[in-house]
Amino acid sequence: MVKKIEPWFGFTEDKVFGMVMENKDFCKYLLEIIIPDLKIKKIDWLDKQVEINNLKRKNEAKEVRLDVLVTDHEGRVFNIEMQTTDQDDIGRRMRYYLSRLDLRYTLNKGNTYRNLKDAFIIFLCNFKPKKDDKFYESYHTYSDQDRSKQLQDGVTKIIINSQVSTEGQSEDLKALAKLMNNEPVNLNKHFDYAQRRIKEINEDPETREKIMLYETRMLEREQAAGKAGYEQGMQRGIKQGRAVGKQEGLKQGLRRGVEQGKVDSAKIILENQLNNGSTLEQATEFVRNLKLISDKELEKIVAMYK
């Protein structure tokens, strides 16, 4: 009998990320190494999995669930997000998160726009980067005509991708990348705490059960995404068949559509499993058990991640 491989829930898993970050000392340290010029003295308030909804427009406005929301001693607001899937919408996602933050947290009723608090949107990413991506990138608003002029809107956006080379970065940021990549870190008490906490979470049956329940809900979303991929493959196949213009061509297109749809579904599910902390071996076994595609087709997909 083959021993069941239990998944390791690392720092990038939503629930684990929140449980590690709820420690104010670690959260303050993380902000300090990401934005060293701020000199944060104290974190006044920290919350995780914060929902920001507009109750007056509940059925119209898109709900937002922020991973970690922090205010410091000067009232500055920090939103720290873990991003494990590249949906090619980071810029617009940051824009929307910022709009919800401004609505709820950075401008108190009765104040003017001058009272808007400085806001920092930080995305920690561990997905395959694009060719021109850098490990650390910060963004502000500049004039198109004169790059020396910065619009003082009080907003800083930062993107860190642990899958990019950390050459030239501080030892602290290199350690952060290792933590995000489930690699051992030997640097200081802060990373000792994070790794110890992650280990405790993984060794606690009740906590693991809660995470597994959460992962099950995420799987339901994956299956929905897989269905979308299946339908897209079907549509491509039908379109190809119609282009042939013959009944046999349409049948071939349908067959290709079914096959492509299953492959697309398998790719999506495998990638989501990897993004949620599973090893390649664990993710492969998970997809294999779904019996969507043949082992040969699965091997072709897995080869892309080796």
| pLDDT per position as a tens digit, 26-69 | 999 999 999 999 888 889 888 877 766 554 444 444 456 778 88
The model's confidence at residue 246, banded by pLDDT at 50, 70 and 90, is: very low
More confident residue, 217 or 87: 87
Spatial distance between the Cα atoms of 67 and 51, rounded to a whole number of angstroms? 9
**Region 125-153: what's the mean pLDDT?**
91
Alpha helices in the chain (DSSP H): 14-21, 24-34, 90-101, 171-180, 189-203, 205-244, 247-275, 280-290, 295-303
pLDDT category at 88 given cuts 50, 70, 90 is confident
Reported as a pLDDT band with limits 50, 70 and 90, residue 228 is: low
Cβ 258 vs Cβ 238: under 8 Å: no
What's the confidence (pLDDT) of residue 290? 72
If you average pLDDT over residues 220-234, what whole number do you get?
53
The mean pLDDT of the chain is 80
Higher pLDDT pick, 13 / 214: 13
Among residues 83, 222, 218, the alpha carbon closest in space to that of 163 is found at: 83
Question: At 120, which helix (H) or strand (E)?
Answer: strand 119-125
pLDDT of residue 52: 61
Instruction: Assess whether pLDDT exceeds 90 at residue 260.
Output: no
- Percent of all residues in the chain with a pLDDT value above 70, rounded to a whole number: 73
Per-residue pLDDT, averaged over 246-267, amounts to: 61
- The segment with the largest mean pLDDT, out of 112-116, 144-148, 292-296, is 144-148
Percent of the chain with pLDDT strictly greater than 90? 35
Q: What pLDDT score was predicted for residue 57?
A: 44
- Residue 108: pLDDT band by 50, 70, 90 thresholds? low
- What is the predicted pLDDT for the residue at 143? 94
DSSP state of 274: H
Q: Is the pLDDT of residue 218 over 70?
A: no
pTM: 0.70
d(CA 136, CA 158): 7
Give the tokens for residue 146.
Answer: 């004169």
